[in-house]
Amino acid sequence: MALTMLAAALIMAQAIAAYARPESFADLAQKFSPSVVNITTSTTVAQRTGPAPVVPDGSPFEDFFRQFRDRGEGGDRPRRSSALGSGFVISEDGYIVTNNHVIESADEIIIEFYEGGELEATVIGTDPKTDIALLKVETDEPLPFVSFGDSDGARVGDWVIAMGNPLGQGFSVSAGIVSARNRALSGTYDDYIQTDAAINRGNSGGPLFDMNGKVVGVNTAILSPNGGSIGIGFSMASNVVSRVVDQLQEFGETRRGWLGVRIQDVTADVAEAMGLDAASGALVTDVPTGPAADAGMMAGDVIVSFDGVKVPDTRELVRQVGETDVGKSVRVVVFRDGGTQTLKVTLGRREDAEGSEGRPSQTDPDAAPEPQMLMGLTLSPLDDELRAQLELAETAKGLVVRDVDPLSEAYEKGLRAGDVLTEAGQQTLSTVGDLEDRIADARDAGRKSLLLLVRSAGQPRFVALTLGDE
Q: Which residues are catalytic?
A: 101, 131, 204
Q: Residue 287 — φ and ψ, nearest 5°?
A: -130, 85
Strands 108-113 and 192-195: unpaired
CA 86 vs. chain centroid, Å, equals: 15
Burial track 106-118 (b if 16+ CB lie within 10 A, e otherwise): beebbbbbbeeee
DSSP track, 16-62: HHHHHS-S-SHHHHHHHGGGEEEEEEEEEEPPP-SPPPP--TT-TTH
Q: Residue 271 — φ and ψ, nearest 5°?
A: -60, -40
d(CA 113, CA 284): 50
Strands 159-164 and 207-209: antiparallel
- Considering only CA atoms, which of 311, 289, 388, 355 is closest in space to residue 81? 388
d(CA 148, CA 145): 10
d(CA 139, CA 369): 48
Residue 151, classed as helix, strand or coil, is helix
- Considering only CA atoms, which of 40, 170, 163 is closest in space to residue 108? 40
| DSSP label at residue 122 | E
> Which long-range contacts (C-beta less than 8 Å, at least 24 apart) are formed by 380-386?
380/432, 381/430, 381/431, 381/432, 382/420, 385/48, 385/50, 385/53
d(CA 459, CA 470): 31
Instruction: Decide: 175 and 211 in contact? Cβ < 8 Å.
Output: no
